[in-house]
Structure 1
């Protein structure tokens, strides 16, 4: 008497059917071609190609420059609030607004619907 598992394994056919035959395995040639996005057609490993370590060693690190304020302005209104920045009043330039209510209609917030307000006030469960 044969076992059931052995009998099932012999009669099993996979549900996936692959169309066509096997795909051919591509053989890459030893000659490298430049990537289409490289500058001047530089090949990897050529004398024009700079190693990543050398490239990164020549980069200058990002430098944070402190904001400088006027000492006389800091003694005035800025010293009361503890801010190092000074406000300079100037006229508005073209396409600048001083309030969100002056924005064009397409950029303004739409008012909330009553049903949405009730849903928010109820904790989201209605």
Structure 2
């Protein structure tokens, strides 16, 4: 026989102390600390079946849309097109759009 088969396996982890003793627990139903004393299944609790019933949708009246009027105040803009050129979005050329769409490849096949 091999000498490795004769040797007994020794675990590398050593546990300190003995087995833990479990204390007797109380299996009574109690309220959750954050439920303010409300017990499950009590008369005050909401039943799941009442939550699953379909309810008619309540419609809210539509709000009237306000149309903004142009003001005479300086620097009060209602559209991006009214901004000075330096604050407007640049117009992209087709070659720039293709470069972005193709991942920056310089050669298009």
Q: Do the two structures share a fold, i.e. TM-score over 0.5?
A: no
Select the structure that is richer in helix.
1
- The structure with the largest alpha-carbon Rg is 2
* Bucket of the pairwise TM-score, normalised by the shorter protein: 0.3 to 0.5
Give the alignment's TM-score, normalised by structure 1.
0.37
TM (normalized to structure 2)? 0.41
